[in-house]
């Protein structure tokens, strides 16, 4: 173990639903057990999942039996090793994998239900964390700690969606909104030589994504029936891949090309979706649920990020004691 490791660390706990239930407390710094690494966390990032958990909308019937540590995405430096660790050395910068234990292929139901950071496992809003060495990846050398902390959910989910959709040069990709997943989908799609359409309710944000390379933009608040406009932007054929983060499945299917792919990721517009089965059967559209990705996929994505010099889009940075402000849009600039 390296020197200067304290015995007490600061931790953000959630004692129940609501941002007002978050509090900063002291806890002992954990010691790495066999196969584990102790990591001094330098940066963490927040996802829609974190807010949904704290609002009580993530899973019906979810109950807090104890105070837990929220959030899943972070980057830090290895400061101590447990016995039998060979994947990392002290001083390595690492990123924890969101679904612990998912090395390759498909995860097991047990991993999906019980091995995710930020709930049910304690998350990363703390100064130190111990994790199994096999459940972490090296941070890309081209990224800062803050940039690397954006990767576990937002980047890997976008990467997996495009890989499952078989993205290629000349394809059209539809990204919904300007959140983390959508922005990474835009960036990864452009790296692959694809064209990208983005829908958003904010003209200023649409102008920003055009600067990032978006080929077509549509304000869905001004155009609630946006699918025909997406098809028009693609020359009438529709998009090959939909990065479906909202839960607007019927419109996504209408925007999809013959033989297209819809990767269902999120539910910002609600948990229920109605559509005409003929939207699937006639154009042979493939619909698939997406759940981030495995450690091996994470490592492949990181190689691509480093090779192409991709830089995540960072909006604002907050200290640990301002987590509620970071989660609440109306409080962020206060």
Within a domain: 299: no
In contact, 244 and 265? CB cutoff 8 Å: yes
Dihedral of alpha carbons 323, 326, 328, 330, sign: positive
Q: Are residues 137 and 13 in the same domain?
A: yes
Within a domain: 294: no
Q: Are residues 124 and 159 in the same domain?
A: no
| pLDDT of the chain, 334 residues: tens digit per residue | 455 899 999 999 998 888 999 999 999 999 999 999 999 999 999 998 999 899 888 876 777 778 999 999 999 999 999 999 999 999 999 999 999 999 999 999 999 989 999 999 999 999 999 999 999 999 999 999 999 999 999 999 999 999 999 999 999 999 999 999 999 999 999 999 999 999 999 999 999 999 999 999 999 999 999 999 999 999 999 999 999 998 788 999 999 999 999 999 976 556 666 777 888 788 999 999 999 999 999 999 999 999 999 999 998 999 999 999 998 865 444 3
Within a domain: 302: no
Within a domain: 305: no
Q: Where are the alpha helices (DSSP H) in the chain?
A: 48-55, 109-114, 145-148, 156-164, 180-191, 203-211, 227-233, 249-255, 278-281, 295-308, 323-327
CATH code of 230's domain: 3.40.50.720
Q: Are residues 194 and 131 in the same domain?
A: no
Q: Are residues 29 and 146 in the same domain?
A: yes
CATH code of 91's domain: 3.90.180.10
Q: Are residues 103 and 231 in the same domain?
A: no
Full residue range of the structural domain in which residue 172 is found: 155-289
Q: Are residues 143 and 161 in the same domain?
A: no
In contact, 15 and 325? CB cutoff 8 Å: no
Number of domains composing the chain: 2
The pLDDT tens digits for 79-100 are 999 999 999 999 999 999 999 9
Global pTM reads: 0.92
Within a domain: 140: yes
The pLDDT tens digits for 249-281 are 899 999 999 999 999 997 655 666 677 788 878
Instruction: Give the whole-angstrom CA distance, residue 288 versus residue 104.
Output: 18
Within a domain: 297: no
């Amino acid at each position: 173990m390296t020197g200067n490791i304290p015995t007490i660390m600061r931790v953000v706990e959630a004692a129940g639903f609501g941002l007002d239930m978050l509090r900063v407390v002291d806890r002992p710094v954990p010691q790495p057990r066999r196969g584990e690494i102790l990591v001094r966390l330098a940066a963490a990032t927040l996802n829609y999942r974190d807010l949904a958990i704290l609002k009580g909308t993530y899973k019906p019937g979810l109950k807090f039996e104890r105070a837990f540590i929220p959030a899943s995405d972070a980057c830090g430096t290895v400061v101590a090793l447990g016995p039998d660790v060979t994947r990392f050395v002290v001083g390595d910068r690492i990123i924890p994998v969101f679904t612990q234990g998912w090395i390759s292929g498909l995860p097991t139901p047990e991993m999906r239900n019980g091995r995710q950071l930020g709930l049910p496992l304690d998350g990363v809003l703390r100064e130190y964390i111990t994790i199994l060495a096999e459940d972490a990846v090296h941070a890309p050398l081209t990224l800062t700690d803050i940039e690397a902390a954006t990767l576990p959910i937002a980047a890997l989910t976008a990467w997996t969606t495009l890989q499952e959709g078989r993205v290629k040069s000349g394809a059209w990709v539809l990204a919904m909104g300007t959140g983390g997943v959508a922005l990474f989908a835009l960036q990864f799609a452009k790296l692959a030589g694809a064209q990208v359409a983005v829908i958003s309710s904010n003209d200023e944000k649409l102008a920003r994504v055009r600067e990032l390379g978006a080929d077509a933009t549509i304000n869905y608040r001004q155009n609630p029936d946006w699918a025909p406009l997406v098809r028009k932007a693609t020359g009438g054929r529709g998009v090959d891949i939909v990065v479906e983060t909202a839960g607007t499945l019927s419109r996504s299917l209408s925007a999809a090309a013959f033989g297209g792919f819809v990767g269902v990721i999120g539910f910002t517009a609600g948990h229920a979706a109605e559509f005409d089965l003929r939207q699937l059967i006639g154009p042979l559209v493939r619909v698939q649920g997406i759940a981030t990705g495995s450690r091996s996929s994470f490592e492949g994505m990181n190689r691509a990020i480093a090779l192409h010099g991709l830089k995540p889009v960072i909006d604002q940075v907050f200290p640990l004691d301002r987590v509620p402000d970071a989660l609440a849009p109306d409080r962020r600039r206060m």
